[in-house]
Amino acid sequence: MRIAAGIEYDGTAFCGWQRQQGVRTVQEAVERAFSVVADHAVTAVCAGRTDTGVHATAQVVHFDTSARRSLRSWTLGANSNLPSEVVVRWVREVPERFHARFSARARAYRYVILNRWVRPALLRDRVTWLHHRLDVQQMRSAASLLLGRHDFSTFRALQCQAKSPVRTLHRCEVTRVGDLVYIDVEADGFLHHMVRNIAGVLMAVGKGDRDPQWVAELLALKDRTRGGVTAPPQGLYFTRVVYGPQWALPQEAVLPRFA
């Protein structure tokens, strides 16, 4: 039997999603919790790996089990065995052909910037702080140039192992609510550090360091070494995975808001 689950987590104290020897990871915590409920070891496959310090409001995982439990028991049992920074939001039984990663049609992220002249205290691990006033209109102009299908080599980490740098960006929106600036992106897939690199470029444009047309130049260069600063991880949230209707899974974006 295959089980799918929606996971929310604060990534501050974890070394990313992927299980690694000798460090604390979200995957290890999730697998341990579901293994207790199943009464056998399970391996969780996620829709999209997140890096150290990155959060998720709507990560999706699947795992296989021979155990028979109610959906309520899977949910409550796992949550009673998870650390406080991780919670299972929902559980569904799915066909064995479902795959959390390969069945996904699109993924979405939100990058949150606190844009004021004094640093945050309560939100220090939840947002990226930038004291320079950002010009959101300029950021929107730059973001529009990223839409569509492109070679995003300039926007991926040098160590990215993806076979192709080509992705289709369906949405890249910049909004301001008081002192908070949100960057919302959705694509058919993302490269390693792609969202954080996009955020770094848009922040440079918003500060006035670069013109919006710089984005088009970066896409044409296909050279990560020319792509500017990678934005910090704590402002990044994995907010949605889009699946086909045949899987009948919750898919509404779960957006972090602090104002």
> Which positions are catalytic?
51
Cα-based angle 146, 147, 151 (whole degrees, multiple of 5): 60
Separation of CA 250 from chain center: 17
Distances (CA, A) of 203 to 115, 125, 126, 199, 210: 10, 19, 17, 6, 9
* Cα–Cα dist 221/136, whole Å: 25
Which helix (H) or strand (E) is 151 found in, with range? strand 148-151
Given its phi and psi angles, is residue 248 left (phi above 0), alpha (psi -120 to 50 degrees) or beta?
left
CB 169 within 8 A of CB 185: yes
CA distance 254 to 179: 21
Alpha carbon distance 229, 166 (integer Å)? 21
Give the CA count within 13 Å in the CB-facing half-sphere of 220. 6
